[in-house]
Amino acid sequence: MKLILDSSRCTGCKSCELACAGFHANAFDPGRSRIRIVNDPYQGESLINVCRNCPDHPCVSTCQFDACTYNERTGFVEVHDEVCTRCNACVAACSYDAVFLDPMTELPLICDGCSGIPRCVPFCYKEAIRLE
């Protein structure tokens, strides 16, 4: 399973951010989302920023505490909050700037595919985010 991103279809509504934060943090706070929409007012574009699941998973390999792992079943990276030391090595390792910090807990936020059922997908009415 893989998230397919098509920024050309994104309207910048940020419904995906709210769905993500609602599911993971039980709060409709885009700052606690694992997906971010970046609106460029000059170009009139909206870019979808989320974990791309790099083949070598640098966020996983850089974590010295095994707080970041790759889940073979879901095909997504997971952060184990109870093990994380908040060293932010995973943030620095991400070449896509798709590892965010939760403003409340300061824990890293990486798209984990919601345990195999990404909650953002049904809320993207333009299908800029879809599952394949």
Per-residue pLDDT tens over the stretch 76-126:
999 999 999 999 999 999 999 999 999 999 999 999 999 888 999 999 999
The topology under which CATH files domain 3-131 is Alpha-Beta Plaits (3.30.70)
Supply the pLDDT for residue 43. 82
Judge contact between 127 and 4, C-beta under 8 A. no
Supply the pTM of this predicted model: 0.91
DSSP letter for 22, please: H
Dihedral angle sign, alpha carbons of residues 48, 52, 33, 132: positive
